[in-house]
Structure 1
Amino acid sequence: MKLPLLAALAATALAGCTTTAQAPSSPVLVPSSDWRAVATENDRERLRNWRSTFTTALAQARAAGHGSAIAAEGALLEPDAALGGAVIPNGQYRCRVIKVGAKQPGLLDYIAYPAFRCRIQQERNLQGFAKLTGSQRPVGLVFPSEATRQVFLGTLVLGDEARAMQYGNDPDRDLIAWVERIGPNRWRMVFPSPRFESLTDVVELVPAR
């Protein structure tokens, strides 16, 4: 059984209403700075299969008539676009969410949302990520991983919930993602097999102005 990841994230996703959350700095205790020692087996499997999941999601969306929209996003929706060379800096970000591939019949195969507000900030020897607005708000930690990318582990805060659920307590809320640089001052988070709605969620992050 994995040790707690989000032991102090009760204060990291305080919600003022259904669409806006404040995320004050909060210490997060983890057993290791190695994400593999923290992630559940289910999440490690999701990350291992990320590329096949992503390509399947893209094929499904193209078959549903969204090929031009996918092409217009360029590197954001290219599975092998990671450039490496720079860890995502702390700061405020504009983050656009794109959901690709339908989890089940009747759901949308592709949807791109307007920009939300997100934040990266220092959490001791790691970084914390929080999506501050919207009805679905990932919150958690960014771990070092490879030369080309980092790994996010966290949970999903929904609606007007006042605090983040403990990572590992509910597989439906657990999240894992690659964090990759895909251009000058442009990053993305690739969430393979989220539990709700889509096959892959992609979050674009660009510094807020």
Structure 2
Amino acid sequence: MTAWRLAVPVLLAAAMASPATGAQRDVDVDWRKVATKQDRERLRGWRDAWIEALGKVRTTRDGAAALAQDAALFDPDRLIQGAALTPGSYRCRMYRLGGVGAGARVLLSGGWAGCRVTENGLVRRFVTDGAQRASGNLFDSTDSRTVFLGTLALGDEDRPMRYGRDARRDMAGLVERIGPDRWRMVLPFPGFQSTLDVMEIVRG
């Protein structure tokens, strides 16, 4: 495994908190102090997740063709420095690579949904719409990667649960720019369905 250490962020980080309160919570400048042990380990294993997931997808002709059709999205080493996500509206869709369990599909893709970034002081949040909704905070890490820590909301749940309460619902990812007005969020070893989730993010 090629080791890659996430740099200590120097700007824009926030302790995970329920968005329901209007008060500004204490802000932490180090995502490691916010992340659970499980999520620190998942982020350290980002490349292992890529290798394992891509290996599974390439076992089928359709999977290999899908990877080749969008090489920029599915190349683990593809990233462009600078231009992190800024406040505004975006469109997102999720790809689930390397299905887990008997009979699981090696590649699943979802439809486009709305997503957005908001900023309140030092707190920058990322939220998606749809039946399965990601909600959490963005932490500056390096010139080319941002850390996302959040939770998954399902169905008609009207608010996301607090980060750290349910390990399967917790989400930990790396946001990378891969093209003009195009990003991806890489979520290694998620709690459900797959070995690696890749969320494509484009301007709304």
TM-score (structure 1 length as normaliser): 0.86
Q: What stretches of structure 1 of length at least 5 have no aligned partner? A: 12-25
State how far apart, in whole Å, the 1-side matches of 2:92 and 2:156 are: 20
Of residues 48, 53, 66, the one that matches 1:69 is 66
3-state SS, counterpart of residue 63 of structure 1: coil
Maintained 8 Å contact 2:99/2:107: yes
Alignment match, 2:19? 9
Moved over 2 A (4+): 4-11, 26-31
1:196 to 2:192 alignment: yes
Distance 1:168 1:55 in 2: 27
Matched residues in 1 for 2:137 and 2:118: separation? 10
Match of 1:85 among 78, 82, 85: 82
Q: State the identity %.
A: 42
Instruction: Name structure 2 gaps, 5 residues minimum.
Output: 1-13
**Partner secondary structure for residue 42 of structure 1:** helix
1:37 aligns with 2:33: yes
Q: 1:95 aligns with which of 92, 95, 105?
A: 92
TM-score of the pair, normalised by structure 2: 0.88
| Contact in 1 for aligned 2:18/2:160 (Cα 8 Å) | no
Of 113, 120, 123, which aligns to 2:120? Answer: 123
- 1:144 corresponds in structure 2 to 140
Q: Is 2:16–2:34's contact at 8 Å kept on the other side of the alignment?
A: no
**Matched pairs, number:** 190
2-side partners of 1:206 and 1:96: how far apart? 9
Structure 1: how far apart are the matches of 2:109 and 2:67? 10
Matched, 1:107 2:104: yes
Instruction: Tell me the equivalent position of 1:48.
Output: 44
Provide the alpha-carbon RMSD of the alignment.
1.7
